[in-house]
Structure 1
Amino acid sequence: MQKIVKVGVVQATPALFDIVKTIEIVCDWIEKGSKAGCELLLFPESFIPCYPRGLTFDAVIGRRTEHGREVWLDYWQNSLDISSEHINKISQAIKNAGMMVALGVTEKETLGGSLHCSLLYFGKDGTLIGKHRKLKPTGLERYIWAESDGSTLTTLDTSLGRIGGLICWENYMPLARMSMYMKGVEIYLAPTADSRESWQATMLHIALEGRCFVLASNQFVKKSDYPERYQHELTGEAEIICAGGSVIISPMGEILTGPLWNQEGLLTAELDFSVLAKSKMDFDCIGHYARPDVFEFSVNKQPESVRVNERAIN
């Protein structure tokens, strides 16, 4: 347990509604993470093509409009189909960097065309090795994103540690968190769009509850970052639409770095796995604190942890 792993979380601004430019931004941050010595890099929720905060898609219960469908089409066209050529540029940048990357995207179904809020996991060689799709979009997110099921409650057993996580308000779902803990997650990823102060308490709680390292990543977005065609729809929004709040926390609840507010940046921290082991002395929610004689837990369709066979990087 003397292992030390250096990780990073990206707090940045995508090129909203522009998949090509946003992928270039992703690749730039991957290079920055590599230069900083990161072995794992986390991006925010729906970094590609953006989290469309403030937009209504002109929808109310019982009515849709042609304008709303045009906004949807714009978002849909700039979302990521993982079978497309777009994924290759990301994979090559990751391979060049030689580190693992977890990337929040809005993912376009190859068949049918529904959109999912997804977290894509890439190995050090740039291979897409896992995917989690958000179980329950929140509020009006339900209008633009489909629901997932237990089959994408993914955990990865890697040389860096056992990695898994949930997206944004999934982290308020106790049983979803437990599905991660039951797989022995050590590095817990929480890409989000929530920049409220209260989110920090949630991240701290998960670190202490799961006795795991927590990496939380959010975007930094201003109203002026939106395309001109959507500025009139944001009249009620403040100039800073998403202030960030990215943070890295230890299993003992120590803030290792962050939270970062009101700017872009790369947060890095060294994860000392001896701290993780020591944290289990007095609390282990799947071990001596579990009480299986009282409680039972099961998840429909949750896959076994994937053992990542990490190949040498050319």
Structure 2
Amino acid sequence: MTKPTIAIVQEAPVFLNLAASVEKAIGHMEEAAKAGASIIVFPETWLPGYPVWLDFAPGAGLWDDPGAKALFRLLAGNSVRLGDNHLSRLQETCDRLGAYLVMGAHERIGNTLYNSMFYFTPGAEAPVPHRKLVPTYTERLVWGRGDGSTLAAIDTPWGTLGGLICWEHWMPLARAAMHAKGEAIHIAQWPMVKEMNHIASRQYAFEGRCAVAAAGAVLTKADVIAGFRSLDVDAPEAEAMLASMPGGADDLIHTGGSAIIAADGSYITEPLYGSAGLVMGEVDMARQLEECQALDTDGHYSRPDVFELKVNTRPMPGVTFDGD
């Protein structure tokens, strides 16, 4: 099994509606598996959608804004929790299809939300989470910061599968830590994959000598409003904030751009912009190993006598209680 097939699901979720988005995800997983996918990938916080109002709604950053607070409440109520039925259904689907899954989701722990990437292995008891280390700019209005305990990677028949979320790809030490895990395949989750995101994803592939699946979503303003209305809730301030985003109903907020990249930085599958669909590509792991002859950043191209990196992988809760 030297040639895994990766499928990126470049679709819109049912925005803000977790249960409906899980149903939609299962349908896309079945479609990808039928097409021959070994590894199925969804974009950043696909469950139940990237909080686009942070980027586009004029009042999103105002203190005590009723619309922003209502949207946070709705998002918190539609975020996954470890061990919940939503994650269990995705795990059951992986087991049935025999495919690996990497899903981006809003995760709730207590009353704080995290931008999380979940790795699902067929036959596993539960998915493995990675929580974004640093929410970027206005994202800090919604998400808390992850710690080193979830700087995760999993084993697959093709080697180590790992990933980072969005601007984590511009954290040099995070990249170094993940390279040290020996990734064969790396998942780069983005809201959409813009030009600079492609530069980061291709550079990561070249630096890490690994295949990279750069995953982004397509999303229109109509998708956003329809997803909100599917919740059937009385939250006029929230709807008003979403409606305040500029553009027409059919204008794309997120334009996709998903692609699959080889270990030399070239495209296995060229970026797909402006339309939904599966972005699929086959990775030749034997050819990939050849690239390590010239560069292995955690091997013959490292200088441990000069550089040293220590990674704290302990959970860092705000309060601990010592028992007797």
* CA RMSD between the two structures: 1.9
Residues 94, 100 of structure 1: 8 Å contact kept: yes
Matching residue within 246, 265, 269 for 1:235: 246
Instruction: Name the structure with the higher helix share.
Output: 2
> 2:236 maps to which residue?
none
Q: CA deviation at 1:223?
A: 1.2
Q: Which range is displaced more, 258-267 or 82-91? A: 82-91
Once the two structures are TM-superposed, the CA of residue 158 in structure 1 deviates from its matched residue by 2.2
Q: Kindly, what percent of the aligned residue pairs are identical?
A: 33
Alignment of 1:107-118 (within 5 A): 107-109=107-109, 112-118=110-116
Q: Deviations over 1:6-55 (max 9, x none)?
A: 22111110000111110111001110111011111111000001001134
The Cα of 1:213 is off from its aligned counterpart by 0.5
**Residues 1:268 and 2:294 are matched in the alignment:** no
Conservation of the 8 A alpha-carbon contact between 1:168 and 1:194: no
1:202-235 CA distance string (max 9 Å, x none): 1111111111110111110011111262542212
1:256-291 CA-to-partner distances (Å, cap 9, x unmatched) read 002010011111111111112100111111111101
SS at match of 1:27: helix
Secondary structure class of the residue paired with 1:13: coil
Q: 1:253 to 1:296 in 2, by over 3 A?
A: same
2:165, 2:190 within 8 Å by CA — same for their partners in 1?
Answer: yes
Secondary structure in structure 1 of the residue aligned to 2:155: strand
Shift of 1:58: 4.3
User: 2: CA distance between counterparts of 1:236 and 1:121?
Assistant: 35
2:8 pairs with 1:9? yes
Counterpart position of 2:20: 21
Please report the TM-score for the alignment, with normalisation by the length of structure 2.
0.87
Q: Does 1:280 align with 2:278?
A: no
- Does the aligned pair in 2 maintain the 1:57–1:72 contact within 8 Å? no
Task: Supply the AA of the counterpart residue of 1:147.
Answer: R
Counterparts of 1:1-314 in structure 2, within 5 Å, are 3-55=2-54, 56=57, 58-60=59-61, 63-109=63-109, 112-125=110-123, 127-227=125-225, 229-230=239-240, 231-235=242-246, 239-301=251-313
Question: How many Å separate the matches in 1 of 2:148 and 2:19?
Answer: 31
Q: 1:64 corresponds to which letter in structure 2? A: D
Amino acid at match of 1:102: V
Structure 1's unaligned 5+ residue stretches are 304-314
Mapped partners of 2:44, 2:108: distance in 1: 15
Mean Cα deviation higher: 87-96 or 169-178: 87-96
Counterpart residue identity of residue 147, structure 2: D
SS in 2 for 1:292: coil
In the alignment, residue 204 of structure 2 is paired with which amino acid? I
Report if the CA contact (8 A) 1:107-1:118 is conserved.
yes
Q: Structure 1 residues 71, 58: closer, same or farther in 2, change over 3 A?
A: farther
Q: Is the 8 A contact 2:218 2:276 kept in 1?
A: yes
Distance 1:129 1:26 in 2: 16
> Larger deviation: 287-296 or 224-233?
224-233
Decide whether the 8 Å contact of 1:153 with 1:302 is kept in 2.
Answer: no
Unmatched tracts of structure 2, length 5 or more: 227-238, 316-324
2:93 aligned partner, one-letter code:
A
* AA of the residue aligned to 2:37: C
| Separation of aligned partners in 2, 1:86 and 1:283 | 41
Shift of 1:87: 2.0
- The alignment partner of 2:137 has SS state of coil
